[in-house]
A and B are shown apart, each in its own frame.
Chain A
Amino acid sequence: MPTRRPRTPSRAISSRAPKIITATTIILIASLLIANPLQPNLISRVRTTMLDASSSILQIVPVSPINQFANFTTSLRDASRLRAANAALREDNAKLTRWYGEAQRLQNENNELHALLGVPAASHPERVVAKIIGATGGPFSRSVHVLAGRSHGVNINHIASNEIGVVGRVIEAGERTARVLLFTDISSRVPVYIGDNKQHAILAGNNEPQLTLVHLPQDITAKRGDVVFTSGSGGVFPPHQKIGTVHSRDGNRITVTPFSDARHNGFLILSDPQYAVLRQLEQNP
């Protein structure tokens, strides 16, 4: 008759280990899902820690050469539109040349008035140029990961911009990395004004290349080509920052094309919103 081996405590634990691990995993997942809305700071810390940890691997992949190839193919596609773009640029250039003289005169006047009133030179918080090491896509979100974090002076709500205009803001800042939520993200809502008439609206992302204007005034006059600027309402974004142009209008449905796809920039400039305002005042006194 076969004898049954006595069940020692260690054997009992090892036989139950898979079940214990599975149960712990399920409890952890449930806790995390519940913590998302209740403890956003804790969740943010978990995410940024993981992002910091993976940043050393992410930055190995050379994104720039691949980007250059992608930009080259895009420019080939855009070649057909060069003639129209050229004409528009000539017109813009003539307009800007006229404004240049006026701007110089105002700058000199401003300097003189500053000197007269004894206004001290503004001390600007630093801005950080951060390398893009990854992005999120698919149907769920639109954001980019950058290689700059709290140790570089980057904080939540810092403004992310490229050479053309604003593209989003920092929503998570780890020690060495940060996540920038782009305007195209489905949860992004930005107060803006449109064109010379300065009609206010909200610019909403939809995880698509085009943005949509919502909460429009009844007498909206926006037309294709009008530039969309941040209005500064709400205090998150500084006012008068360029975002994009009106792409199409179908009744009250107005879509906006951002000036550039931030995912394809190699770098982004992250700056304190206060710095962005001061820089703007310097450039447009």
Chain B
Amino acid sequence: MTPSLTRTLSQIRRAEPVRRYLFPALSTLMLVLLEPVLHAVAASPNAVPALGLCALIHWAGDRETRIPYWCAFILGLLADSLNGTPAGLYAAVFILAQAATRFLSYKLDIQHFNTRWLLAAAVILAAALVMSLGVAALSSVPRLPPSLWTYSLVTIAVYPLIAWILSLAADPRH
């Protein structure tokens, strides 16, 4: 990359609307779209974390960035289509996860990353449970899937990496 192109990209990235709204939404969209590709190649389908959910929680925990609720709804609807879950379920979980993270981050005034990770873990576990109950209620199989905990733990373990990559991509000076 030429220095002028790097400079231009850096300027675009630092532009206020891009940094606050566009980049968080686009990066979450990319991760939502990456999930089915990873599912197709992963040795075990339970080893693929909920990347979209991680990104959404990360951006919701950041006071400066905002993914509007309607945008989370569309991302959730896309995730429903790609993941084969009942339509509207991921959409609901995305909005609830976003609202819970925003509310708790504000109330607890989280500064340290470990605390933020703990909050993300709680939200991920709750989201997985809500998803499972939703799938059980809306599909023909009224029971919890056996690999629920593996999936949740993998997602919790991957969260710091996603958060770090997204922070770095949003602002390379970090």
Listed in ascending order, the chain A residues whose CB lies under 8 Å from chain B are: 21-22, 24-25, 28-33, 35-37, 43, 46-48, 50-51, 54, 57-58, 61, 63, 66-67, 70, 73-74, 132-145, 179, 181, 186-187, 206-209, 263-264
Select the stretch in B87-95, B100-108, B111-119 that faces chain A. B87-95
Q: Which of A32, A61, A134 lies in contact with B88, CB distance below 8 A?
A: A32
Q: Which residue of B lies closest to A24 (CB)?
A: B70
Residues on the A chain within 8 Å of B141, using CB? 186-187
Interface residues on B, range: 35 or more
Listed in ascending order, the chain B residues whose CB lies under 8 Å from chain A are: 33-34, 36-37, 39-46, 48, 50, 68-70, 73, 77-78, 80-89, 91-92, 95, 128, 131-132, 134-135, 138-141, 145-148, 150-151
Give bound CA distance, A139 to B39, whole Å.
12
Instruction: Take A138-B48, A140-B131 as given contacts and tell me if A63 and B70 are in contact as well, using a CB distance cutoff of 8 Å.
Output: no
Residues on the B chain within 8 Å of A29, using CB? 73, 88, 91-92, 95
Give bound CA distance, A63 to B34, whole Å.
11
Give bound CA distance, A50 to B88, whole Å.
13
Instruction: Take A47-B87, A139-B46 as given contacts and tell me if A58 and B33 are in contact as well, using a CB distance cutoff of 8 Å.
Output: yes
Instruction: Take A35-B87, A58-B37, A67-B41 as given contacts and tell me if A139 and B138 are in contact as well, using a CB distance cutoff of 8 Å.
Output: no
Beyond A46-B87, A140-B131, 15 additional pairs, beta carbon < 8 A = A25-B73, A29-B88, A33-B88, A67-B41, A134-B40, A136-B39, A136-B83, A139-B128, A139-B147, A139-B150, A181-B84, A186-B141, A207-B145, A207-B147, A263-B41
A140 near B39 (CB under 8 angstroms)?
no
The 4 A-B pairs at the shortest CB distance, nearest first, are namely A137-B45, A134-B36, A32-B88, A137-B39
